């Protein structure tokens, strides 16, 4: 029997209006270093499936993700995840914050492994770029766009961009951290350590995701940053001097200039259709400002099949139920002049503006305790370890000399292991013989008893 959970919460956008949530069938859905996600059914104040993201923010720290997800000073967009309720609890000196969202049953990473139809590929691509156009209008760069950060309800083909933990308001002329975006989807300018960039980095990531939808596997699986750039050069050829200048990064490593001509995307994505290939070639280009995106992309002929009268998916669902005429009209509009209010808000709200504590009733945390969120001290340690792991390849393999030294060190360790193995062989042989004899005797004894 499902237990009904009552929880006082604040309704979002943050207008400080308290409501009493009634939920049931609340259980752990997924867990990670930074947060846990619970799944359940909301019964009051209205009915819908929900996801609850539970995390432990550092005291006095209020990141941009929270400000963005609350929906303050911006209109909603159907292809961007939106917080609908929030509540928090105090535990000693720590605060646990919980954010409530509409539940989306899949990630794009999960459905990509299926063979998506051509219509579904175009449908998800259009929604993904519609969400990115909205972010660009608000001066927001996601900086970690990848299939696991894109939520979908595959039954109705609805897509939402999520996980804004790396997102940032980009101000022209100000430098930014180049170590962003998961490596397989990282644009070449960040691999060249550019510190001045904009929403075009998300366009590159989205292009890689589109290619992955066609191939059903990662297209550029680089082992480290240097290898990632090598994969791009193999595919597209080395960037020209003009393209390197346009990327505003460091110089290209000397050994990459040999790729005067790339093998082409069609060699890596063998199932790509001619029009898919031509479309990808207009997105995955070295010069950031030449990447197809925004209104121009959403009106491209590549999506013509979606907007034919009576167009349907493989299951008979009408495309017009997924992308309405209002959605298309909004996508074709020019930049929203009021969007800059979000940037002003992010700047003004640099101090901690957490969610006020809510009274606990029968808290959802008691429903399922099998993998609770890491306690604050453990979570901080886990974050530090993950940060070190994420940065290790770029710090250790920052130059060709470093990589050469690393290779020599590996070879030396390998030789030492071989020589040690030879010295230990004689000792191991004696132990091994004894264990084998013992096993044979045990087996013989059991056999005789039977």
DSSP string covering 205-223, please?
HHHHHHHHHHHSS-S---S
Marked catalytic residue, from 144, 163, 202, 327: 144
Helix 274-281 × helix 200-215 angle, to 10°: 160
Residues contacting 245, CB < 8 A, separation 6+: none
Distances (CA, A) of 79 to 157, 367, 426: 11, 31, 65
Residues contacting 195, CB < 8 A, separation 6+: 175, 176, 177, 178, 248
Work out whether the CA dihedral 442, 448, 449, 450 comes out positive or negative. positive
Phi, psi for 13 (deg, rounded to 5): -60, 155
| Sheet containing strand 106-107, strands side by side | 106-107, 150-153, 158-161
Measured CA to CA, the distance from residue 82 to residue 75 in angstroms comes to 10
Largest CA distance in the chain: 88
Residues contacting 372, CB < 8 A, separation 6+: 36, 365
Specify the length of the chain in residues: 450
Residue 249 tokens, joined: 């990064």
Mark whether 102 is an active-site residue. no
**Which of 289, 307, 275 is CA-nearest to residue 242?**
289
Residues contacting 249, CB < 8 A, separation 6+: 178, 188, 189, 190, 191, 192, 193, 194
Work out whether the CA dihedral 82, 86, 91, 94 comes out positive or negative. positive
Q: Exposed e or buried b for every residue in 235-251, given b needs 16+ CB within 10 A?
A: bbbbbeeebbebbebee
Asked if 43 and 23 touch (Cβ cutoff 8 Å), the reply is: yes
Residues contacting 433, CB < 8 A, separation 6+: none
- Which are the catalytic amino acids? 144
């Amino acid at each position: 029997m499902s237990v009904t959970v009552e929880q006082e919460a604040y309704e979002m956008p943050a207008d400080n209006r308290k409501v009493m949530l009634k939920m049931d069938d609340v259980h752990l859905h997924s867990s990670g270093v930074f947060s846990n996600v619970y799944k359940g059914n909301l019964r009051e104040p209205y009915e819908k499936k929900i996801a609850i993201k539970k995390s432990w923010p550092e005291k006095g720290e209020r990141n941009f993700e929270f400000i963005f997800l609350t929906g303050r000073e911006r209109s909603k967009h159907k292809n961007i995840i939106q917080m609908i309720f929030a509540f928090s609890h105090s535990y000693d000196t720590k605060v646990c914050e919980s954010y409530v969202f509409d539940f989306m049953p899949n990630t794009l990473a999960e459905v990509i492994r299926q063979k998506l139809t051509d219509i579904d590929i175009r449908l998800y691509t259009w929604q993904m770029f519609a969400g990115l156009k909205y972010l660009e209008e608000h001066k927001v760069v996601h900086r970690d766009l990848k299939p696991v950060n894109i939520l979908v309800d595959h039954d109705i083909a609805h897509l939402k961009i999520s996980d804004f933990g790396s997102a940032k308001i980009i101000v022209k002329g100000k430098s930014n951290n180049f170590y962003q975006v998961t490596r397989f989807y990282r644009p070449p300018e960040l691999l060249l350590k550019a510190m001045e960039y904009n929403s075009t980095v998300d366009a590159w990531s989205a292009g890689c995701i589109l290619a992955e939808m066609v191939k059903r596997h990662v297209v550029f699986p680089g082992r480290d940053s240097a290898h990632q750039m090598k994969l791009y050069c193999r595919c597209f050829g080395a960037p020209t001097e003009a393209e390197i200048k346009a990327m505003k990064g460091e110089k290209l490593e000397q050994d990459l200039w040999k790729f005067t001509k790339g093998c082409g995307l069609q060699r890596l994505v063998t199932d790509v259709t001619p029009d898919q290939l031509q479309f990808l070639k207009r997105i995955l280009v070295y010069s950031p400002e030449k990447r197809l995106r925004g209104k121009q992309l959403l009106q491209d002929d590549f999506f013509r099949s979606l907007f034919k009268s009576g167009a349907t998916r493989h299951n008979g669902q009408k495309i017009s139920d997924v992308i309405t005429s209002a959605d298309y009209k909004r996508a074709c509009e020019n930049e929203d002049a009021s969007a800059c209010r979000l940037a002003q808000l992010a700047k003004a709200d640099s101090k901690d503006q957490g969610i006020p504590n809510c009274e606990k009733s029968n808290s959802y945390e008691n429903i399922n305790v099998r993998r609770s969120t890491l306690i604050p001290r453990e979570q901080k340690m886990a974050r530090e370890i993950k940060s070190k792991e994420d940065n290790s390849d770029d710090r250790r393999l920052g130059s060709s000399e470093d990589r050469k030294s690393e290779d020599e060190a590996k070879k030396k360790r390998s030789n030492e292991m071989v020589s040690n193995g030879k010295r230990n062989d004689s000792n191991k042989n004696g132990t091994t013989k004894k264990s084998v004899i013992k096993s044979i005797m045990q087996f013989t004894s059991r056999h005789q008893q039977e």
